[in-house]
Structure 1
Amino acid sequence: MFKTMAVATLSLSSLLLAPIANAAWHVNNDQSKVSFISIKSNSIAEAHYFKTVSGGLSDEGQFKVEIDLASVETMIPIRNERMTNLLFETAQFPKAIITADLTKRLQAIAPGQHLLKGISAELDFHGNKKTIKFDVLANMSPMGDITISSLSPIIINASDFAVTEGIAQLQKLAGLPSIATAVPVDFSLTLNKDR
């Protein structure tokens, strides 16, 4: 009986992990979004996002997402231009890159919804690298596509990435009494399984 149960358990595990085996995924830009909130004059919050996100997840669990900083969308063209040139300085730092080793986490994802706590990733932004930790919700479709969403906002501090001077320039040009230097960031990424 023990042998029968062991075989059944092994078969079930193989079935659940089948979408993972020999697979790789790429970010579907049209179904993905990285957004952030800026706060000016102490109390005015505005939502912004990036129009271009790329990257993927290898079958070994190596995760990489590249955010095209020049694709920032604030709904105000002059503000887009100022953020691109003065804050992000995209001529020198065109992308923000997030990398993570999800080798151990990948095996936990099967069709359905899963909470993955304490993901550790490296953010390479504006010539500076910092390790950040966050929790995500991961969903796998029956076809093997994966959606990964932040469970709560990730707070990015300007001082960690040497962009406080850029924020000060934006504040001066806009004639604002203040612009917050801590920014909450959210994301929802759809990764299509390579077929």
Structure 2
Amino acid sequence: MKKFISLISFLLLFVSSSTLATWQLDNEQSLVSFVSIKKSDVAESHHFDSLKGIIKSNGEAQVSISLASVNTGISIRNERMQGMLFESELFPKAIITANIGTKLIEKLALGESSELMLQGRLELHGMKKSLQIPTYVTKVSNTKLMVTSIKPVIINAKDFGLEEGVKELQKIASLPSISNAVPVNFVLTFIREG
């Protein structure tokens, strides 16, 4: 009987430690990209090189994007976006928070994906805005979880006080227009700790 109780205690400990696991974002296997549109119909894809993130034991997820790591493929354009648009010395990060929930992670079978509409919040340029983020959550293995966008999340520069920065970029590049609306996509890979 004692052995049986010990076995049950061990299994409960294992289950609870699995349930309470935290997941760290793997920067090398993750990507946040966005598309800028200029001259009405010229689209260019960009991304950020430095991401940090965690899914806590309660299912709360947070991803921090270093705005100084913006990568447009052109050094001078990177510098202009950092300084004129993001003002990355004053506002170094964009932070996204949402709650994935532990139940969803627990019930996913290996290789299985689940569609999830996340209720999230974006902090950018000193402002905060609630967002709906349509995602797929995939349990790649017992130690790897992927969260990917189903469709682009549209971020509007005006919602975060970035419209003046957009105008500055437009002026310095002698462009007739740059869209304030920016589609953002992501692939986020999390590795379970422990």
TM-score by length of 1: 0.87
Unmatched 5+ residue regions in structure 2?
1-11
Spell out structure 1 runs of 4+ moving beyond 4 A: 17-20
Structure 1 range deviating more: 78-87 or 109-118: 109-118
Distance, in Å, in 2 between the alignment partners of 1:59 and 1:175 is: 49
Instruction: Give 2:186's aligned residue.
Output: 187
Of 96, 100, 103, 2:98 maps to 100
Distance, in Å, in 2 between the alignment partners of 1:20 and 1:49 is: 33
Contact 2:112 2:140 in 1 (8 A): no
Contact 1:38 1:183 in 2 (8 A): yes
Matches within 5 A, 1:16-165: 20-103=18-101, 105-165=104-164
Deviations 1:116-152 (A, max 9, x none): 3321001000111001002111111233210110000
Distance, in Å, in 1 between the alignment partners of 2:116 and 2:144 is: 20
How many residues are treated as equivalent by the alignment? Answer: 180
Which amino acid letter does the alignment assign opposite residue 164 of structure 2? Answer: E
Contact 1:25 1:57 in 2 (8 A): yes
SS at match of 1:141: strand
SS at match of 1:99: strand
Distance, in Å, in 2 between the alignment partners of 1:109 and 1:83 is: 40
Give RMSD over aligned pairs. Answer: 1.8
Identity among equivalent positions (%) equals 42
Unmatched 5+ residue regions in structure 1?
1-13
SS at match of 1:83: helix
Distance, in Å, in 1 between the alignment partners of 2:183 and 2:176 is: 20
